[in-house]
Homo-oligomer: A and B are copies of this chain.
């Protein structure tokens, strides 16, 4: 009979139910919680409740936000005329980290994937179309370079182009620091066809 303490067991279950967290890691994490001061544990608990309760989607770009409108959409220094369309919030965070983009975002919350039964209606596509105005200068399709990401980008470009907006796609190619020898054929041929003059 395995020894278990009910409250500890419940805590381990919560951690173990997360993707990529195995039973051993969950157990170790639960022990770390026990080692916290009582105030720190209470703060941890409050923050979980708080995050789940107070984080919503920005009503404009569908990004995670603590307010009705996220800090990017409400920032007057950002170019509201350039919209970068991404699959998920992690992509927003990744692009923001580069500090090289000054426009705004639109988060689709997924990609079109017939295999998983996800069609255009499950994504935030009509919210994107509603944002396109005559002032919109460019829509950058920054979905991932996967079959689903490409299909979604193609689908969107067909909807957007008739609206008279410039539609672009992120560049494909050899990653910086990469080695031609180890690049896969598809990436290499895309890098070749996307070559630019020096």
Chain A interface (Cβ < 8 Å from any Cβ of B): 1-3, 5-8, 10-11, 14, 18-21, 25, 27-34, 36, 38, 41-55, 63-66, 70-72, 89-90, 92-93, 96-97, 99
The distance from the CB of A188 to the nearest CB of chain B, in whole angstroms, is 27
Q: What is the oligomeric copy number?
A: 2
Residues on B with beta carbons closer than 8 Å to the beta carbon of A6: 66
Contact B29 A18 (CB under 8 A): yes
Residues on B with beta carbons closer than 8 Å to the beta carbon of A41: 48-49, 51-53
Contact B96 A34 (CB under 8 A): no
The distance from the CB of A73 to the nearest CB of chain B, in whole angstroms, is 11
Overall SS of chain A's interface = helix
Contact B72 A11 (CB under 8 A): no
Partner of A52, one of B3, B14, B38, B49: B38
Residues on B with beta carbons closer than 8 Å to the beta carbon of A1: 96, 99
The distance from the CB of A186 to the nearest CB of chain B, in whole angstroms, is 26
Contact B55 A96 (CB under 8 A): no
The distance from the CB of A108 to the nearest CB of chain B, in whole angstroms, is 16
A34 to B21, CA, bound (A): 16
A65 to B34, CA, bound (A): 12
A93 to B42, CA, bound (A): 26
Contact B21 A48 (CB under 8 A): no
Partner of A10, one of B34, B51, B97, B99: B51
- A-B contacts, 7 listed (Cβ < 8 Å): A3-B93, A7-B51, A8-B64, A8-B66, A10-B47, A44-B48, A48-B48
